Structure formats: C-alpha cells, structure tokens
Amino acid sequence: MKHIKNIFVILTAIILCAACSSDDPKPPVPSIETINLSSNSTEITLGETVEFTVIANTKEDLTNKAIYFVNDNEINSNNFEPQEVGNYEIFAKYGDIKSNILNLKVNEVPIESITVTATKEEMYVGDVASLSVLSDTEKDITSEAKIYVNDELYEDTDFTTMTAGVYEIYATFGDTLQSEKIIITVNELPVTSVTITIHNNEIQSGDTVSYTVKSDTDKDLTRDAKLYVNGSLFEDGNFIPTEAGEYTIYVVYNEIKSNEVTIRVKDIPINSITLTIHNNEIQSGDTVSYTVKSDTDKDFTEEAKLYVNGSLFEDENFVPIEAGEYTIYVVYNEIKSNEVTIRVKDIPINSITLTLHNNEIQSGDTVSYTVKSDTDKDFTEEAKLYVNGSLFEDENFVPTEAGEYTIYVVYNEIKSNEVTFVIDNSEPVVFVKHPVIESFTHTKCSYCPRLFYAIEKIEEQTDQVIHISYHPFHYLGGNPAKPDFLFNSSPLPLWDAFKFKYGLNTVPNAEINRVSVWNRPQPEKLEEVTGLIDNDGVVGLAIDLAQENGKLSITVKSKFSEDFSERLMLTVYVLENNLIHDYPNVTSYFDGQNPVKDYAINHAFRMNITGIYGENIPYEETIRNNIYVKDYSVDIPQNVTDASQISIVAFITSTTTREILNARTINIGEESQSFEVK
C-alpha cells in the first residue's frame, strides 16, 4: 500500500514538472484583408513601360502573386506597355481581394524633328513628285504639316510645274519645327532637233530678217538659239543686211544645228520721198491722214518724221483742233519730202441724230445705235444715253421687261431726236421638236435587227427623230463566246434605270424621251415615235462642231421659250456612225437574211462629255428668250475607229419629270447650226 502511494506521488510530481517546463502560448498570425496597388509612374509617354507593386495590409509583398487588370482586361504581369495614347484604369486582385484603382495617363511621343521627302530629286517639266512629311517618331504627318516650295506655301502633296529650275522644298509642323530643305531639279523636256522658219525669203536692204525657231517639243527657242549667217555667229541682236546678195542662215541651240535657209536681199537706193495727204481739207478734230513713199515705191509712213509748220511733231497722230492752214512735210534718213498745205475748217455742231440699228428689239437684246452730228461726225461713244427721261449710266442698255421705251442722247448740251420702241413678251418662241430614241442592243443579239429595221423606217419618214444606240453588255447572256465589239459600260446606269422603270431586262429594248418604252414589235409601232414630231419644243438647241489635232471643239447653245421653275440638265454625248458588222438575224425583217451582211450600225454611243445624266444649267439661265452657251474641248475618244464618222448629240432634260424636252445632233463637217423655230 505504501508502495502504491509512493508511485502516485512520483507520477504527480512528474506531471507537475512537465506543466512547469512548457513555453508561454504564441499570439495568432494576422490575416490579409486589403491590398494596395502602386506604380513607379502615373504619367508616361507612348512606348514606355510602367511597373506595378502590390503590398498587403500585413506588409507582405504580393507583387508576383497578384493578378492585374487594365481597363477591366487582365494582363499577364506587373509590367504594362500601352499601345495607344489615352487614360487607363488599373487595379489588382489577390484572391477575392481587389486593390485600389490607379489612373495612368499615356501621352503621345513628342515630335522633336521632321523630315520632308520626295519621290523624285530630278524630273522634267510636267512630271509629278509626291511629297511626304515624317516625324522622328516615324509618324506620317503629311496631312498636318505645311509644305513650302521656294518659301511659298504649296497647297498640294504632288509637286508639278511647267517651269524648269531648281526648287527648294521644306516642311513645318506646329509653330517651331521645320525640316531640312530638299532640292528638286526640274529640267526642260529634251530637245533633239530645231527648225528655223524665215517669214520672208526675199527682202530689201535695210529690212530686218524675221524668223522663228521651234524645237521638236514645239517650244519657241527664237530668243535662245544662236544665229549663224554664212557660217559665222551673228551676235548683234537683229540681223539687218545692208548689202544685196544671198545669205545662208541657220541657228544652233545646245549644240543642235537647225536646217539651213537662204534669203535674197535686194539693194535699192532711196533718192527721194513723197508725202501724199489723203484729204487737204479737213475739219477741226479730224486726224491728218497721209502716206510716205520712196522713189522705189517703198512705204515709209511709219518711219518718216512729221514736221508741222517747220517744227518736229512727235505725237503719234496729228489732230489739229484750231481752224487754219498748216504746212507739213516729212524727213527720212535726212531726205526731206515735198511740202503740203492743208486747210482745217472749224464747223460748229448744230444737231445730233440718234439712229437705232434694229427697230424690232426683243427682251434681252442689247439696244445698238449710232449718234452722228449734222457734220457727219460720229459721237456714239461720247453722247450720253437717256431712257424714259433718265440718264442711263451702264455700258449697254439691255431691256428685259415688256413695255414702251423712249430713248435719246445728249452731247455738249445738244439733245438728239427721240426714238420709241416696244418690247412685247406675249408670244414665246416655239422650237422644232426632236424626239429621242435610246436603244439597248448587242451585236450578237439575233432579235436586235427588228429594232434597227424600225429605226430605218422612221429615218425614211423624217429627220427629226434622234437615235442613240447603247451597248452596255460585254457578253450576251454572260457567254464569253458572244462579245460585243461596241461594248461600253458607261450607259449601265441608264439600263439599270430602264429595267427598274419598266420591268424589262432583255434586248432589244428602247425608250422614247426617257418617259415611255417603245412597245414591241417596234416596226408596227412607228407612230409611238413619229407622233411626237409635231409637238412644240419648249427649248431649242444649236450645235457647232470642229475637229483639229485630235481634239473636238463643241459649242452647245440652248434657248428657252419660257421661264423654268424646275432645274434643267444639259447632256452631251459623242456618237459614231457607219460601223460595219454582220448582224445575226432570226426575225423576218431584212427579208429574213441571217446574218444581215455588212450592216452599218449608226449612232453608237462612244463617250459622255457631261455626266451620263448631264450637268445642271444655272437657274438664272433658264429664262424666256435667254441663250445659254456652253463650250467643250475634248480629245477624240480612243474607242472611235473613224473620226470622220463622229457625231455629237445634245439634249435637255427636266429634273422633275426626267423627260427629254428637246435634242439636236450634228455630224463632223456640217455647218454651224442655228435654232430651229417653227
């Protein structure tokens, strides 16, 4: 028992010792509740990198453990290099803990220098060099920079000039940056030959040899070429031979020698000169008119010096203003002419007369007149015009309103007779009507002869109908084996409009005056076209056409019988006639020939000079009796096979109804047209 008690004491002691030997309890580890995002910069330049750091509230560095978001898009590291200028919002997340938001501003890389470049450093006149401006950041700032050529602002990025020389070009950007200057050398077109042309191969001693020098580039080199006479360089300005004989002359330009030309000089000595007065008795204010000739019958009127009453007269024309007698003679090369006496009468003006050139004046016409005194002297320019009692101070009197006009003139307080005329606007001009057929065909279309047969029958009946033949399809039905040799895509918008308007999408088809379809079969529906020729034309046209050096010069005149409130359009096309072609034919027309051999296609569309739908005629021009004139100069279209077969068609359409109001056509070689009035 005692033994057991001892064991219990020992165990208790051991337990107490163990309890006394253990350490004090440790404090709890703090947890991460917030994280803080920071960066090495909040404003950078495009191209730079910003670095982010994340620190927890426990001071633990979570930079490599956090996830980063830029504008709500996750990025893969704590380093961020923006690709665009702007403002960015950045935050980080550690687990479900989100950091504060950082704002990052990214600025454009500052431009410190600019460079201007050209695609050509040397070129010929008329060539084009494209100009570009780059910043030191390799940004193209051509559209923002200003370009200067020879210190003058140049408004284009394509540099071209017709003047040879050296051109300095630089650019500026903003208020401070200027590029280095570049040089573009512009050379004249190379000359390979020169030609001298003598204006007169036979002259008299003392005359100036007149000539022209031109290069094969058609440049006038008369002033630049060096003249050689009988093989020797002539350096004294104008060549004026003083001795009779033959002279061989040529010119040299840039070591290029021209053709040689021979001139013949006659040496006729002058022994005397004669002054001839055209009228010995003149009135005060008249010009003394005379002629001076030598005994060799050469005219020296311009060269001889005039003497009046013994004194040299140095003005251009001698106009005596005082009555009396004047003794005059001339001197040429110290040779004195005969003396002539003229008598000047001072006749007072008692009356002046106003005469109209045309008593039937219409609205818009210029009133043309002549004013003469009772001494038959013309005072048209000096007299002042009065209209209905009031002074008219403009240059030309052009009445536009209907009514009665009384006019007279006054010169030096002398009043002329009064003239009265009446303008009546009550009867408008009516023009001959020209209906227009616009056909859509194809040279491989075997049904198209039906339409051409109908057009031939109309042309046998009248010349008032105008036909335009469009070929807007390359291949018939899309078949490459059936190409149209007259294919022209320009009228495609007209075809699309035709299909939309009438629901027809096959050829042949035709439209009349752009307001109605020509119904099939056309040979049996001729009256749909011919029935329009007796209608009145509210507008009229007249065309002038000339051809020279591969160009067409066209003048279209339009006249209006009334004031138009809607806008009118003028359309001008180039057509070609007599295009020979075998036409396939499955119709009964042309006696059923298949094909129709050597058929002449006329009025084929070649080019639109205006827009395909025309161009606006200004409102102020479309008024009653006004004539609107439009000139065109165009190259002969390359698709024209024979320029002698060209014709021009012009027509006027209403933008309100789309109708062709009237038209005219003219062929190469025809005389200028006048308006066709009923």
Looking at the predicted structure, is the pLDDT value of residue 611 above 50?
Answer: yes
The whole-model pTM stands at 0.43
Give the CATH number, domain containing residue 469. Answer: 2.60.40.10
Sequence-separated (6 or more) residues with CB below 8 Å from residue 552: 545, 546, 574, 632, 633, 634, 635, 636, 646, 648
Instruction: Work out the average pLDDT over 447-470.
Output: 96
Same structural domain for residues 520 and 394?
A: no
Most trustworthy range by pLDDT among 284-298, 314-328, 493-507, 564-578: 564-578
Reported confidence tier of residue 1, pLDDT bands at 50, 70, 90? very low
Same structural domain for residues 464 and 593?
A: yes
Number of domains making up the chain? 6
Same structural domain for residues 458 and 546?
A: yes
Domain range enclosing 415: 352-423
- Does the N-terminal peptide bond of residue 27 adopt cis geometry, omega within 30 degrees of 0? no
Place of tokens 């999408």: 505
Same structural domain for residues 508 and 624?
A: yes
Looking at the predicted structure, is the pLDDT value of residue 78 above 90?
Answer: yes
Last residue in a domain, options 187, 222, 249: 187
Examine residue 407 and state whether it is found in any structural domain, yes or no.
yes
Instruction: Work out the average pLDDT over 5-22.
Output: 45
Same structural domain for residues 532 and 623?
A: yes
Instruction: Work out the average pLDDT over 184-192.
Output: 91
Same structural domain for residues 551 and 503?
A: yes
Examine residue 435 and state whether it is found in any structural domain, yes or no.
yes
Instruction: Work out the average pLDDT over 391-399.
Output: 91
Last residue in a domain, options 150, 168, 187: 187
Give the CATH number, domain containing residue 384. Answer: 2.60.40
pLDDT per position as a tens digit, 197-254 = 999 888 888 789 999 999 998 889 999 999 999 999 998 888 998 788 999 999 999 9
Least confident of 106-115, 527-536, 610-619, 652-661: 106-115
What is the overall mean pLDDT for the chain?
Answer: 90
Same structural domain for residues 557 and 412?
A: no
Find out whether 546 and 557 touch, Cβ atoms under 8 Å: no
In whole angstroms, how far apart are CA 498 and each of 47, 436, 488, 522, 532?
59, 15, 17, 17, 21
- What SS3 state is found at 338? coil
Looking at the predicted structure, is the pLDDT value of residue 2 above 70?
Answer: no
Beta bridge partners of 483: 475
Same structural domain for residues 362 and 491?
A: no
Same structural domain for residues 304 and 360?
A: no
Same structural domain for residues 278 and 260?
A: no
Looking at the predicted structure, is the pLDDT value of residue 292 above 50?
Answer: yes
Instruction: Work out the average pLDDT over 140-156.
Output: 94
Last residue in a domain, options 107, 122, 154: 107
Least confident of 260-264, 282-286, 595-599: 282-286
Same structural domain for residues 101 and 170?
A: no
Q: How big is the CA angle at 218 (ends 215 and 224), to the nearest 5 degrees?
A: 45
Sequence-separated (6 or more) residues with CB below 8 Å from residue 28: none
Give the CATH number, domain containing residue 293. Answer: 2.60.40.1930
Reported confidence tier of residue 14, pLDDT bands at 50, 70, 90? very low
Beta bridge partners of 390: 387
Same structural domain for residues 211 and 300?
A: no
Least confident of 47-56, 346-355, 465-474, 556-565: 346-355
Instruction: Work out the average pLDDT over 362-381.
Output: 88
Position 663, amino acid: A
pLDDT reported for residue 4? 41
Give the CATH number, domain containing residue 146. Answer: 2.60.40.1080
- Does the N-terminal peptide bond of residue 595 adopt cis geometry, omega within 30 degrees of 0? yes
